[in-house]
Structure 1
Amino acid sequence: MREDDLDDEVPEDDDDPLCPTIAYTALEKQRWRREWRSALIVKVLGRTFPFPVIARRLETLWAKCGTIQVSSLSFSFYVVRFTSQIDYEQAAAGGPWMINDFYITVRPWRRNFNTKHAEVASIMVWARFPGLPREFINKEAVERIAEKIGKPIRVDRATQSGDRGRYARVSIKIDLTKPLLSKFKIEGITYYVEYEGLHRICTE
């Protein structure tokens, strides 16, 4: 039995007749939750799109080996179920994902997810470091800078190959509750951080 299924059953003692408690057994909850374990909860930050647009875009992004089913929730959240574990893992760990330059937040489905009280505390974004000396445009050096901003996820392929020299690019998981790093120094010289699509992020 998964940890998701180990929550205590709510006793019906001292029930309020004006606000009754609905109790379910652990086995019932385990059975009902099983189909959602390979699901993701997503939200587009900064803009509300029509449901068909969201569904089509997510299908294009994520339905590579199997199919997905997108369901709308309240407060502009969506839940996406996958028939392919490969697709699920790629959607959960890949990205950053965007729809028309608006970031998509992605989190694993969890029991008792309440959209009204859910907060978007972190997101994966693309960051650029323009003007770096050529010797610092490599995976190791760029990740060292990214660690000062958040959790480095993936250095852009063009950055790793050396094809791009104007700036280094890396995806980073950032904490939206903390101020974002805007600049850093290497050997006494100041360089600036550019966040792609940052002006579109809304943590409503």
Structure 2
Amino acid sequence: MDDEVDDEEEDPTCPTIPFTVAEKIRWRREWRSALVVKGLGRRVSYIPLARRLNFLWARNGEIQISDMNNGCFLVRFRSHKDYEGATMGGPWLLGDTYLTVHRWFKGFNPWKTEVTSTMVWAQLPELPIEFINKEAVMKIGEWLGKPVRVDRATELGARGKYARVCIEVNLTQPLISKFKIEGVTYLVQYEGLDDLCTDCGTYGKKAGKCHCVPAGQAM
């Protein structure tokens, strides 16, 4: 048994149910290849989500989607290859809503699980053409979050208007909204993150409504 019981505070009306380590290992085994999915900033419905994920993720085997509380869904995979593709791929969207994707962990509680990070596409408009390449854009991405990859057009240098990089960002910290190269300031546009203050980079508050803007200066 690995359940601990505090005898001093034992309540006879609230018994502690003991499970053995072997039992818990056995029951948790089937969830090891499961992902927790949740819409970023808004709730998503089961049916359109199931259709989308079956199209995107069920490449080599079936997936099972369980509707949880607090807008969370639990997705189990029969194919480990599909599981790794869903985990390492992305960012994933349903319409214009980002889907946050995280590995299941023991004791998962949808009411107590906070979304702290997600993968997003960041656009870097008006970069000089010599910086629109994989090496340069991935280096810029390191200052924005955890860079994952650039899109095909950026890698090939086939688009001169902007570069595009997929990054994993920490939503509990202000996002970088601008940067400088050789003294020139360039802006960062995070696709799909509408509730983002472009003045300080705080997610969940739009520019003009964020506390970082002094009263009377909001446009």
Report the CA distance between 1:12 and its aligned residue. 7.3
SS in 1 for 2:12: coil
Aligned to 1:3: none
Bigger Cα displacement from structure 2, 124-133 vs 51-60: 51-60
Report the CA distance between 1:200 and its aligned residue. 5.9
Counterpart selection for 1:124 from 111, 116, 119: 119
Q: Quick one: distance in 2 between partners of 1:177 and 1:46?
A: 13
Q: Which amino acid aligns with 1:34?
A: R
Deviations 1:91-134 (A, max 9, x none): 00000000001000011110001111111111100000001011
Q: Quick one: distance in 1 between partners of 2:118 and 2:147?
A: 12
Q: Quick one: distance in 2 between partners of 1:32 and 1:49?
A: 28
Q: Quick one: distance in 1 between partners of 2:176 and 2:158?
A: 26
Q: Which amino acid aligns with 1:8?
A: D
Pair 1:114-2:74 in alignment: no
Overall identity of the aligned pairs, in %: 56
Q: Quick one: distance in 1 between partners of 2:19 and 2:31?
A: 17
Aligned to 1:20: 15
Report the CA distance between 1:47 and its aligned residue. 2.3
Aligned to 2:4: 10
Q: Quick one: distance in 1 between partners of 2:187 and 2:90?
A: 23
Deviations 1:53-81 (A, max 9, x none): 11111111111111100001110111000
Report the CA distance between 1:19 and its aligned residue. 2.1
Confirm or deny: 8 A CA contact 2:179 2:186 kept in the other structure: yes
Runs of 4 or more above 4 Å deviation = 200-203
SS in 2 for 1:49: coil
Report the CA distance between 1:17 and its aligned residue. 1.7
RMSD: 1.7
Pair 1:82-2:77 in alignment: yes
- Cα 1:102–1:132 shift into 2, 3 Å: same
Aligned to 1:63: 58
SS in 2 for 1:22: coil
Deviations 1:138-191 (A, max 9, x none): 111101111111000111111001111110000000010111111111111111
Pair 1:45-2:40 in alignment: yes
Q: Quick one: distance in 2 between partners of 1:64 and 1:177?
A: 33
Counterpart selection for 1:163 from 158, 161, 170: 158
SS in 2 for 1:24: coil
Aligned to 2:215: none
Q: Which amino acid aligns with 1:147?
A: E
SS in 1 for 2:98: strand
Of structures 1 and 2, the one scoring higher in RCO (CA 8 A, sep 6+) is: 1
Q: Quick one: distance in 1 between partners of 2:2 and 2:22?
A: 12
Bigger Cα displacement from structure 2, 7-16 vs 27-36: 7-16
Q: Quick one: distance in 2 between partners of 1:125 and 1:175?
A: 11
TM-score normalised by length of structure 2: 0.85
SS in 2 for 1:88: helix
